[in-house]
Amino acid sequence: MEKAVTKSMQEQIDALNKKMDIILEEIYVQRQKRQEVEDLLTDLSIIGNDLFKATVDELDHAGVEVDGEAVKTLVFRLMRNVSNLNEILGMTESAVDLARDVAPILHQVGLDSINYMHELEQKGYIDFGKAVFEIVDNIVTHFTVEDVKLLADNVVTILETVKNLTQPEMLHAMNNAVNIYKTLETHDIEEMSLWRTFKELRSPEMKKGLGFMITFLKNVAKETAKNNGKESK
């Protein structure tokens, strides 16, 4: 019985010893880590002091005076505005992401624009635009500002004249006149004597033509007199 009790107590003692060994090992590990952290902090402190001294020396050589209070104030302001700095950094990251997303779109737009301009050039729009520019350049070169002002003052009359000339009956009459002129042999016209001229004047066609010319000239004279009367008023 006593042997059994002794054996049980020995087992408990062995178990306690194992646990103590584990605890001591953990304490040793923690102490080692703490020592490593302390050594790291010491090294960082030394490095920081050396860096600070080197910075101060460099600034001193450069003729720059460092205000400790200003630096402390700057550090405090940075600490107070950490949230604002985070927002600024977030906005910067968003802008960078947007630029990355927009870059392919802009690239494609550029390619589409180049292709479109190439298509316009193939169809002749570019050459047509150059020709139009040459027309405008000739107008600007050959006309003065006063000519343009006169054109602006009389543009209504010009447009009314163009409108009247483009009426179907006027176009038909001008087309007939052009066709008749094209059929005439202007280089080999037969000479007529006075007797034959008077004879031709008695023909119905010439009488009608003379009547048309006289009527036309009379109406032109009346219209001119009317316009001159309006201008004098």
**Mean pLDDT to the nearest integer, 211-232:** 77
Determine which of 113-117, 134-138, 173-177 has the lowest per-residue pLDDT on average. 173-177
Q: Domain-by-domain residue ranges, the chain?
A: 1-64, 81-142, 145-188, 190-233
Q: Is the dihedral of CA 132, 136, 141, 142 positive or negative?
A: positive
C-alpha span between 194 and 210 (Å, rounded): 17
d(CA 196, CA 190): 11
Residue range 70-117, pLDDT digits in tens: 767 777 777 778 788 888 888 888 888 888 888 888 888 888 888 888
DSSP SS3 for 168: helix
Read off the tokens for 185: 């042999």
Task: Using a pLDDT cut of 70, give the percent of the chain over it.
Answer: 86
pTM for this model (two decimals): 0.33
